[in-house]
Amino acid sequence: MAGEPTVAEKLKELYELQQIDSKIDEIKVLKGELPMEVSDLEDDIAGLETRIGRLRSQIGEMEEEASRQEAKIKESEALILRYKSQLDNVKNNREYDALMKELELQNLDIQLSEKKIRSANKDIQNKQDTLTAAEERLAAKQKDLDVKKIELEQIIQKTEKEEERLARQTEKVRKNIEERLLRAYDKIRNNYRNGLAVVTVERNSCGGCFNMIPPQMQLEISMRKKIIACEHCGRILVDDYIMDVGQEEAEKQEAN
Could you give phi then psi for residue 237, rounded to 5 degrees?
A: -105, 135
The neighbouring-strand residues paired with 198 are: 236
The neighbouring-strand residues paired with 199 are: 237
Mapped onto helix, strand or coil, the DSSP state of residue 194 is coil
pLDDT of amino acid 118 = 96
Q: What is the DSSP letter of 201?
A: E
> How many CA atoms are closer than 13 Å to the CA of 160, on its beta-carbon side?
6
Domain 7-30+178-255: which CATH number of 1.10.10.10, 3.30.450.90, 1.10.287.1490, 2.60.40.1930: 1.10.287.1490
Fold adopted by 32-165: Helix Hairpins (1.10.287)
14/183 Cα distance (integer angstroms): 12
User: Which H or E run includes 76?
Assistant: helix 34-87
The set of residues, in sequence order, having a beta carbon less than 8 Å from that of 66 and lying 6+ positions away, is 116, 117, 120, 121, 124
pLDDT of amino acid 256 = 46
pLDDT of amino acid 3 = 66
pLDDT of amino acid 1 = 42
Domain boundaries, the chain: 7-30+178-255, 32-165
pLDDT of amino acid 88 = 87
Mapped onto helix, strand or coil, the DSSP state of residue 236 is strand
The domains spanning 7-30+178-255 and 32-165 adopt the same CATH topology: yes
Angle, helices 93-175 vs 7-31, to 10°: value is 150
**What b-and-e string marks burial along 100-119, b requiring 16 or more CB atoms within 10 Å of the CB?**
eeebeebeebbeebeebbee
Mapped onto helix, strand or coil, the DSSP state of residue 206 is strand
Read off the amino acid at residue 137. R
Strand locations in 37-126, DSSP E? none
Could you give phi then psi for residue 29, rounded to 5 degrees?
A: -65, -40
Tens-binned pLDDT, residue by residue, of the chain (256 aa): 456 889 999 999 999 999 999 999 988 887 878 888 999 999 999 999 999 999 999 999 999 999 999 999 999 999 999 999 999 888 899 999 999 999 999 999 999 999 999 999 999 999 999 999 999 999 999 999 999 999 889 888 888 888 889 999 999 999 999 999 999 999 999 999 899 999 999 999 999 999 999 999 999 999 999 999 999 999 999 999 999 887 755 555 555 4
pLDDT of amino acid 91 = 87
Termini Cα distance of the chain: 20
144/147 Cα distance (integer angstroms): 5
Q: How far is CA 88 from CA 85, 97, 109, in A?
A: 6, 13, 23
pLDDT of amino acid 75 = 96
What sign does the CA torsion over 194, 199, 200, 203 have? positive
